[in-house]
């Protein structure tokens, strides 16, 4: 088994300043596997929503919780590509006016291939978006149908083609594997087709069965057969091998990038850098003291009422003590190929990683090692992440 961390993997340094996450909780149709907070995309809501987000940005500015210019911006959802380029441009201008936007900021937008045109993508580029993350999921129409997606493989090809024409040179595609009744070989073929799109970044997620979703019900009723753990592990390893061969760096359990094309927004969250989340269902992380996580409840009406009254819609979800901050540093860091920086951990917490997690480290055995001053899990360790990480928490 190859170690997950490869000496070539040098993830970009984080810029100073917080990230900004904007949750766009609208979808044209609910996918049967999804348990994210999203609502039907009614035109009136889409029109009104940008002002509500801007209102929350103003409230956050007054809170004095956020210092420095924004280093990254991420429009996530839901389906952010349901907002018009004008709306996206207006939100970005307001974010810049209120907080300042770093000149090198990575500004990402998640886009559903079934909702974009050459015009809309050109508009997003002109509005300041410099990275697109396409929810392709599969390039096999039979799987797309089973996943309840609104787009086809041909839509995904057009979307990527248009994005390049619109001037985007930083594209990510999502791939879902371990689908019901999908063999490892079929997942590999799906990946092969996706590689032909030549994305700079790929997120490869094993399909999660979320309780309460129609997919969970279908599996319970025996209408579908879930992928076995063995099939999941086999596919995970084969995807890794193929992507490594194709020159992608496996920099986080589910994420691969061409050198230097890592998603800086997500890297910052795994590094426990501060980020501000706006919109119902969004989370924020303030790094002061040992850290504080805040959340805006996933309740649209309450969000409208609160921000319209000029009140802060976010509440404290968790105030970290030192021990919890150490545990979360391990939880987030070990997901990443760069691992946990041993010296930075000692400097921050006044104790060593080896001392604090002595028992957990022992239980990881050969799957966890200190390489070039970083504690890293190997590939098999990533496969067993949920099992190993409980000891750190």
Give the nearer residue to ligand SF4 in terms of CB position, either 27 or 107. Answer: 27
Largest CA distance in the chain: 57
d(CA 41, CA 39): 6
For residues 198 and 172, what is the distance between their CA atoms, to the nearest angstrom? 9
Q: How far apart are CA 44 and CA 91, in angstroms?
A: 17
Contact status, residue 149 vs residue 159, Cβ threshold 8 Å: no
Least Å from the CB of residue 254 to ligand SF4? 15
Nearer to ligand SF4, 38 or 235 (CB): 38
- Shortest distance (Å) from residue 360 CB to ligand SF4: 33
Residue 336 DSSP label: B
114 or 313: whose CB is closer to ligand SF4?
A: 114
Please report how close the Cβ of residue 152 comes to ligand SF4 at its closest, in angstroms.
14
CB nearer ligand SF4, residue 34 or residue 237 = 34
| Distance, CA of 345 to CA of 358 (rounded, Å) | 14
Instruction: Rank residues 29 and 225 by Cβ distance to ligand SF4 and give the closer one.
Output: 29
CB of 365 to ligand SF4, least distance (A): 36
294 sits in the region (left: phi over 0; alpha: psi -120 to 50; else beta) called beta
- Tell me which residue of 282, 301, 214, 225 sits closest to 35, measured CA to CA: 214
Residue 215 CA from chain centroid, whole number: 22
Task: For the CB of residue 174, give the shortest distance to ligand SF4 in the complex, in Å.
Answer: 9
Min CB(76)–ligand SF4 separation in Å: 9
Where does this chain bind ligand SF4 (CB under 6 A)? 27, 30-31, 34, 36, 38, 77-79, 112, 135
Closest CA to 126 of 118, 134, 115: 118
Shortest spacing between CB 149 and ligand SF4, in angstroms: 7
Which of 27, 156 has the CB closer to ligand SF4?
A: 27
What minimum distance in Å lies between the beta carbon of 132 and ligand SF4? 15
Helix, strand, coil share (%) of the chain residues, nearest 5: 45, 20, 35
Report CA dihedral (179, 251, 334, 138) to the nearest 10 degrees: -10
Task: Give the nearer residue to ligand SF4 in terms of CB position, either 43 or 222.
Answer: 43
What lies within 8 Å, CB to CB, of 321 at 6+ separation is: 290
Nearer to ligand SF4, 135 or 277 (CB): 135
């Amino acid at each position: 088994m190859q170690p997950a961390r490869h000496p070539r993997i040098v993830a970009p340094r984080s810029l100073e300043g917080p990230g900004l996450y904007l949750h766009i909780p609208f979808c044209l149709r609910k996918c049967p596997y999804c348990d994210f907070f999203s609502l039907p995309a009614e035109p009136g809501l889409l029109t009104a929503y940008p002002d509500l987000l801007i209102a929350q940005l103003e409230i956050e500015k007054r809170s004095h919780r956020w210092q420095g210019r924004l280093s990254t911006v991420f429009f996530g959802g839901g389906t952010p590509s349901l907002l018009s380029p004008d709306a996206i441009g207006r939100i970005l201008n307001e974010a810049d006016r209120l907080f300042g936007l770093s000149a090198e900021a990575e500004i990402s937008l998640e886009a559903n291939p079934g909702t974009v045109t050459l015009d809309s993508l050109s508009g997003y580029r002109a509005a300041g978006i410099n990275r697109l993350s396409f929810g392709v999921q599969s390039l096999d129409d039979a799987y797309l149908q089973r996943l309840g997606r609104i787009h086809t493989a041909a839509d995904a090809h057009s979307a990527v083609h248009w994005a390049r024409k619109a001037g985007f040179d930083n594209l990510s595609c999502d791939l879902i594997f371990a689908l019901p009744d999908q063999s490892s070989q079929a997942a590999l073929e799906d990946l092969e087709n996706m590689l032909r799109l030549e994305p700079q970044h790929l997120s490869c997620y094993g399909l999660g069965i979320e309780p309460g979703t129609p997919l969970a019900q279908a599996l319970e009723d025996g209408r579908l057969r879930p992928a076995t753990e063995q099939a999941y592990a086999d596919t995970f390893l084969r995807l890794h091998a193929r992507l490594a061969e194709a020159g992608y760096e496996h920099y986080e359990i589910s994420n691969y990038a061409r050198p230097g094309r890592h998603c800086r927004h997500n890297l910052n969250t795994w590094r426990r850098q501060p980020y501000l989340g706006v919109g119902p269902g969004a989370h924020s992380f303030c790094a002061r003291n040992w850290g504080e996580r805040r959340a805006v409840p996933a309740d649209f009406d309450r969000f409208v009422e609160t921000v319209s009254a000029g009140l802060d819609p976010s509440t404290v979800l968790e105030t970290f003590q030192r021990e919890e901050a150490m545990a979360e540093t391990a939880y987030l860091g070990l997901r990443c190929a760069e691992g946990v920086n041993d010296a930075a951990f000692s400097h921050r917490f006044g104790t060593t990683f080896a001392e604090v997690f002595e028992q957990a480290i022992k239980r990881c055995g050969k799957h966890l090692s200190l390489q070039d001053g970083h504690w890293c899990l190997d590939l098999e360790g990533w496969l067993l992440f949920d099992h190993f990480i409980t000891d750190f928490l």
